[in-house]
Amino acid sequence: MATLALTRLGVLASRNCTPKFARRSGHSVHISLPLLHPENSVAETHSLLDNDVVPTNCMRACTAVVTEISYNEATDPEKQYRAEVEFISNEAWTCELEILLQDLLSEGHLSHEYKNRESEAGVAWAKIQAVYPWMTKEALLEYKSAKELAGDDTVRHHLGSVKEIEAHNSAEFSKKLQKYVDSKDKGPSRDMRATQSPRSETAEHWPLIKAVRIFCKSRVLESGITLVDLPGVADSNAARAVDDKAAQDIMGASFNRQLQLDGNLSNVTFICSKTDDILITEAIKNLGAQAAEADDVNTQIKAMGEQAKEKELDASTKLETLQVSKKESKAEEKKTSKEVKKLRKEVAIIKADIKAKKSSLLQMCISSRNSYSRPAIQAQFARGLKLLDHEMAERENAELFDPSRDLRNYDEVADQLSVFCVSARAYLKMSGKLEKDDHLPGFTDVQQSEIPQLQAHAIRLTTSTRLTTCRRFFTAVEQLLNSLMLQVIVDDRSTVPEVKRQEFAYLELALEALTKELIGLVKDSMNECRILVEHSLLRKLPDAARLASAKAISTVRSWSLAKADGGLAYQTFKAICIRKGQFKGLAGFKDFNGELVQPMKNRLGSRWERTFKGSLPAKIDLLGQYLSERLGVFHAKMTSRQHQSQSSTAALMDRQINSFQESLRDMSGLKSIVKQSGKEINEQFDLPIAEGMTPAYVWATAQSGTGVYERLRHFMLAHIEEHGAAMFDAAEKTVVKGLTSMLDVLDGEVHAKIQEVLEQVERDYTALIASRNLFEALAKARDEIRFLLATADERFATILRKDAPVSPAGLATEPGPAMKTEDADVDGCAVPPVGQDSSPGIRRDFLALVLD
C-alpha cells in the first residue's frame, strides 16, 4: 500500500463569489500531490477529479512534467477540455544543456559512462537524444557550444512558446496532450553508429516543457482548487521525471522540518493508495480481534471448495459412466442427466458463495488494515514532530530542556491529521470507467474506496477561506449600497445652516481625533510586532549563523567520506557541483547549500513556527479588534449628537459603521502576508550560501585528471575555512532584511486599510449632515451604479438578463411623508418618498443579483 502526502498550500479561491472576482482578488488554492509512484498519480488524479484528463500508461511514468489542473470556465462544447503547454525559454534550455554536456563530456570526449543509463552521463545522453532523436556522439561533438545546440531548428521554434490544446471529450484531449507529458519506453540504447539517423524521427517534448496547465469540469475543482500533479519524488531529473523510482520515507525529519518552517503542519493530508493490493494470508495474521472470525471464514471457504470439487468429481463420474454404459434405459439416462445438472447447479451455488465469502473476507482484511494504518500514520507523524521539537528545544537551550515536558499537544496533532486509505481502481471500476477490467473483489460499494470521502475532504479544505472571501465581498457590497443610500436619501427635516456648520466642525474634529487614535494604535501594535520579531528571531540570528559556520567544516568533510561511511561517489559529487549545489540522482536529492545552512534553520525552527503561526497573527487579530472598538466609540459619540440621533437615516448609518468595523476586524489579508513572508524568508537562507559557494562549484566543475577527487576535497575545505564566516554573515543579513521588509509591508498595509475606512466614514457622515439635493444625489448614484455594473464580472451581466428573485424583506426604516407626484421620476429612475429609506428596493435587487 503506497503512502502519499497531499499538502494544501496557500489560500482558497471562491467560485461562489464569481470565479473572476476570486482570481482578481488573488485568492487561489494549490493542492500538491508529491506522489511516490507516477503510475498511482494518474489513477488518484482521475478518481479525485472524476475525469480522465491525464494520459495514462501502466508501464512508465507519464506525468513527466509538473501539471496544474484547474476548473474550466469555458461554455463552448468544443472547449470542454483545455490545456496550456508552456515551453521553457531559450536561455533556460541553454543553461540545462550546459549542465548536460558537462555531465556527458570529459576532456572533449564523451564519458565512457554514456551508455550506462543509470549514470549521470547516461541520463544526460538519454535526455539529449529524447529532444534530438537523430543525434549521434559524432554529431554532438561537432557542436561548439550549448547555445549552438539550443539554436537547432529541432527545438528553436518551441522554446519560449505556449501551445494551446482544446477538445470536446477526454479521449481526444488525452491523446493530444500525451506527446507533451509522456516519456517514452526505456528500450535498449540507440545504436551509436557513425552515421546519423534521419532527422524525421519524432522528438520528445517533455524535457523542454516548463509546465502544463489543464482546465476541465470537475466538482472538486469547481470549489476553487488547483490540483498540482507533481512528478515522482524519487526520479533522477530534478525538474521532471523520466521513469518511476523506488519510494522514499516522506515522514522523515526533513519533511516535518520543512512543514514547520513553512507553517504547513496543519495543512497536510496523507493518502494511502492501492488498498486493493493485499495478501489475505498475511493480512489475517494482523487482524487482531477479527482474526478468529477471518480464520473461520477462510476455513469455510476451504471446506466449500472441497465440497465443490467433490460434487464436480461426482458429476464427472456420472457423465463418464453414462457415456461408457450404452445398456442403460432411457429412464436411467434421463435420471443420470438430471443428477448431473443438479450437481452442476449446486457447484455453481457453492462457487458463488465462495466468491461472496472471499470478497467479504477481503473487505474485512482491507478494512482492518485501513483501521490499523490510520492511527499508525497519525502516531508516526506526531512522533516525528515530537522528536523534531525536542531536537530543536535542546539545541535552543540544552540546560532548560526537559524531555518529559511536551511542547505541544501531540495527541491533538495526531487526531487532526487527515488520513485516507483509497483504492482508485475500485472507485473507477464501480463508476463504470474501467469497462475492460475484471470486477475488483473486496468492494461492494463505492464508499468503501474512500474516494468520495477524499473528494469531500478536498472541497472542505476550501470552506473557511471561501467563507472569508465571500464575507469580505458582501461586506464591500453592503458598504457600497449603504453609501449609495446615504447619498440618495434626503432627510425630511430642514437643518439650519448654522447647525450644519457646527456639525461639520464637530465631524472634522472627531475624525481628526479618530485618525490620531487609530494611527497610534497601529504604531503601538507594529512596535510590539517589531519587538516580538527582535526578541524571537533577530537576536538569535548571530548565534545561529556562528553555529552553522562552526559546523560547516564537518559538513563538507562528510561529502567526501568513503561511500560506505555515507560519503558521495566522485561522479555524484561533480554532478552536484555542476548544478551549483543541488542535484537529484539515483541516491536521492542532495543539496550542499541546504546542508550548510541547515544548522542555522534548526536553531531557529521552533521560534520561527511560534512567531509566524502564533505570536504575529495573534497580535494582528488583536489590533483589528482594537481598531474596530475605537471606531465603535467614535460612532457612539456621533450618534449622541441630537441632529444625528433623530435622523431618519440613523439606522442605516449604524449598519454602515458595523460593516466598517467588520472590515477592520478582518485581518486575514495581513495574516496571509505574514504566512507567505515566513515561507519566502525561509527560502532566502540558502541564497547567500549558494552565491558564496559558486566560485568553489565553478572551480570543481573545471577539474579533471589524476587525483581530482582529492583536490576537490582540499579545495572545498579551504574555501569554507576562508569564506564560511562571510557566507553565514550574509545569510544573517539577508534574513534580517527580509524580516524588516515584512514588518514594513505590514505597517503600510494597515495604514492603507485604516485610511480607506476613514475616507469612507468621512464621506458617509458628510453626506448624512449635508442632506444633498435629491436629484443631484440620484445622478451621482446612477453614475456609480452604472460604473459598478459596467466593470462587473461577466456572470453579473448574464444574471442581469434574468428575473431577480426577491430577497428577505425587513430592511426598511421608518417611513416619512409621501413625495410629491412631480418628483416621482428622474430620468426614468423611480424615486422613493422623502425620508423613506430606499435601501430595501435597491438592496434587494442588487443582492439578488449577487446571490443568484
Q: How far apart are CA 450 and CA 275, in angstroms?
A: 10
What is the extent of the structural domain holding 380? 280-421
Residues 417 and 520 placed together within one structural domain of the fold: no
Query: CA-based angle 273:277:280, to the nearest 5?
Result: 135
What's residue 322's pLDDT? 62
Grid cell locating 350: 457453492
> Considering only 338-342, 512-516, 661-665, which range has the smallest mean pLDDT?
338-342
| More confident of the two residues 299 and 41 | 299
CB atoms within 10 A of CB 508: 12
**Boundary of a domain, candidates 772, 805, 828:** 772
Whether the per-residue pLDDT at 6 is higher than 80: the answer is no
Query: CA-based angle 732:737:740, to the nearest 5?
Result: 125
What's residue 530's pLDDT? 94
Hunting for cell 465581498 — which residue is that?
A: 473
What's residue 366's pLDDT? 83
Tell me what the mean pLDDT of segment 363-387 comes to.
Answer: 83
What's residue 269's pLDDT? 84
Residues 644 and 761 placed together within one structural domain of the fold: yes
pLDDT in tens, 619-657: 999 999 999 999 999 888 887 764 555 555 677 778 888
Question: Is residue 253 assigned to a domain?
Answer: no
Q: How far apart are CA 836 and CA 490, in angstroms?
A: 8
Residues 501 and 376 placed together within one structural domain of the fold: no
What's residue 333's pLDDT? 66
Q: In whole angstroms, how far apart are CA 32 and each of 66, 68, 197, 229, 230?
A: 10, 9, 40, 6, 7
Whether the per-residue pLDDT at 780 is higher than 70: the answer is no
Question: Is residue 561 assigned to a domain?
Answer: yes
Using alpha carbons, select from 669, 666, 685 the residue that is nearest to residue 739: 685
Residues 369 and 511 placed together within one structural domain of the fold: no
Instruction: Find out whether 342 and 312 touch, Cβ atoms under 8 Å.
Output: no
Q: Is the whole model's pTM more than 0.95, yes or no?
A: no
Secondary structure (DSSP) of 645-697? HT-TTHHHHHHHHHHHHHHHH--HHHHHHHHHHHHHHHHHTHHHHHHHHHHHH
Grid cell locating 797: 451581466
Q: What contacts 24+ positions apart, CB below 8 Å, involve 700-703?
A: 700/573, 700/574, 700/577, 701/102, 701/574, 701/577, 701/578
| More confident of the two residues 692 and 350 | 692
Question: Is residue 341 assigned to a domain?
Answer: yes
Query: Nearest 5°: phi and psi at 210?
Result: -85, -45
What's residue 718's pLDDT? 93
Q: How far apart are CA 136 and CA 156, in angstroms?
A: 19
> Considering only 51-65, 257-271, 708-722, which range has the smallest mean pLDDT?
51-65
Per-residue pLDDT band for 845 (boundaries 50, 70, 90) equals very low
Grid cell locating 841: 428596493
Whether the per-residue pLDDT at 327 is higher than 60: the answer is no
What's residue 312's pLDDT? 73
* DSSP classification of residue 127: H
Q: How far apart are CA 38 and CA 315, in angstroms?
A: 50
| More confident of the two residues 691 and 773 | 691
What's residue 151's pLDDT? 87
What's residue 525's pLDDT? 92
Tell me what the mean pLDDT of segment 786-800 comes to.
Answer: 48
What's residue 283's pLDDT? 65
Grid cell locating 163: 501551445
Per-residue pLDDT band for 12 (boundaries 50, 70, 90) equals very low
| More confident of the two residues 495 and 343 | 343
Instruction: Find out whether 304 and 350 touch, Cβ atoms under 8 Å.
Output: yes
What's residue 479's pLDDT? 75
Spacing of C-alpha 142 from chain mean position: 45
Q: In whole angstroms, how far apart are CA 493 and each of 254, 473, 507, 822, 835?
A: 71, 34, 20, 20, 8
| More confident of the two residues 285 and 593 | 593
Question: Is residue 197 assigned to a domain?
Answer: no
Residues 555 and 703 placed together within one structural domain of the fold: yes
Tell me what the mean pLDDT of segment 348-361 comes to.
Answer: 76
- Paired with 82 in beta bridges are 166, 215
What's residue 181's pLDDT? 74
What's residue 298's pLDDT? 67
Instruction: Find out whether 287 and 368 touch, Cβ atoms under 8 Å.
Output: yes
Question: Is residue 602 assigned to a domain?
Answer: yes
Residues 404 and 500 placed together within one structural domain of the fold: no
What's residue 679's pLDDT? 87
Residues 662 and 519 placed together within one structural domain of the fold: yes
Residues 544 and 675 placed together within one structural domain of the fold: yes
Element (H, E) at 388: helix 330-396
Instruction: Find out whether 793 and 21 touch, Cβ atoms under 8 Å.
Output: yes
What's residue 824's pLDDT? 36
pLDDT in tens, 437-472: 777 777 888 888 888 998 898 888 887 777 777 777
Q: How far apart are CA 669 and CA 455, in angstroms?
A: 27
Tell me what the mean pLDDT of segment 94-113 comes to.
Answer: 83
Using alpha carbons, select from 54, 240, 86, 90 the residue that is nearest to residue 162: 86
What's residue 230's pLDDT? 60
Whether the per-residue pLDDT at 379 is higher than 60: the answer is yes
Whether the per-residue pLDDT at 727 is higher than 90: the answer is yes
Per-residue pLDDT band for 788 (boundaries 50, 70, 90) equals low
Q: CB-side exposure of 245: number of CA atoms within 13 Å?
A: 21
Tell me what the mean pLDDT of segment 763-791 comes to.
Answer: 59
What's residue 831's pLDDT? 35
Query: What is the number of structural domains in the chain?
Result: 2
What's residue 106's pLDDT? 73
CB atoms within 10 A of CB 527: 12
Q: How far apart are CA 547 and CA 557, in angstroms?
A: 16
What's residue 647's pLDDT? 55
What's residue 574's pLDDT? 87
Residues 404 and 549 placed together within one structural domain of the fold: no
Element (H, E) at 164: strand 162-167
Altogether, the residues listed in the chain come to a count of 852
What's residue 187's pLDDT? 46
Question: Is residue 285 assigned to a domain?
Answer: yes
Secondary structure (DSSP) of 82-107? EEEEEEPPHHHHHHHHHHHHHHHEET
**What proportion of the chain, given as a percentage, has pLDDT over 90?**
17
Q: What contacts 24+ positions apart, CB below 8 Å, involve 607-611?
A: 607/396, 607/536, 607/537, 607/540, 608/260, 608/261, 608/537, 608/678, 608/682, 609/260, 609/261, 609/263, 609/265, 610/536, 611/532, 611/533, 611/536, 611/537, 611/678
Spacing of C-alpha 153 from chain mean position: 37
What's residue 367's pLDDT? 82
Residues 514 and 604 placed together within one structural domain of the fold: yes
Q: How far apart are CA 549 and CA 218, in angstroms?
A: 51
CB atoms within 10 A of CB 256: 23
Query: CA-based angle 354:355:361, to the nearest 5?
Result: 85
Per-residue pLDDT band for 683 (boundaries 50, 70, 90) equals confident
Per-residue pLDDT band for 232 (boundaries 50, 70, 90) equals very low
How are beta strands 829-830 and 825-826 bridged, if at all?
Answer: antiparallel
Hunting for cell 470542454 — which residue is that?
A: 80
Per-residue pLDDT band for 21 (boundaries 50, 70, 90) equals very low
What's residue 851's pLDDT? 39
| More confident of the two residues 743 and 644 | 743
Spacing of C-alpha 130 from chain mean position: 31
How are beta strands 225-229 and 28-33 bridged, if at all?
Answer: parallel
What's residue 620's pLDDT? 92
Give the type of residue at 537.
L
Using alpha carbons, select from 414, 418, 404 the residue that is nearest to residue 384: 414
Secondary structure (DSSP) of 493-544? S---HHHHHHHHHHHHHHHHHHHHHHHHHHHHHHHHHHHHHHHHTGGGHHHH
Question: Is residue 48 assigned to a domain?
Answer: no
> Considering only 220-234, 604-618, 678-692, 767-781, which range has the smallest mean pLDDT?
767-781
pLDDT in tens, 125-166: 888 888 888 888 888 888 878 888 888 888 888 899 999 999
Question: Is residue 697 assigned to a domain?
Answer: yes
Instruction: Find out whether 36 and 248 touch, Cβ atoms under 8 Å.
Output: yes
* DSSP classification of residue 204: P
Whether the per-residue pLDDT at 336 is higher than 90: the answer is no
Whether the per-residue pLDDT at 779 is higher than 80: the answer is no
Averaging pLDDT over each range in 11-20, 591-600, 605-614, 634-643, which range is the top one? Answer: 591-600
What's residue 572's pLDDT? 85
**Boundary of a domain, candidates 421, 450, 472:** 421
Per-residue pLDDT band for 321 (boundaries 50, 70, 90) equals low
**Boundary of a domain, candidates 705, 737, 772:** 772
Mean pLDDT score across all residues of the chain: 74
Residues 616 and 740 placed together within one structural domain of the fold: yes
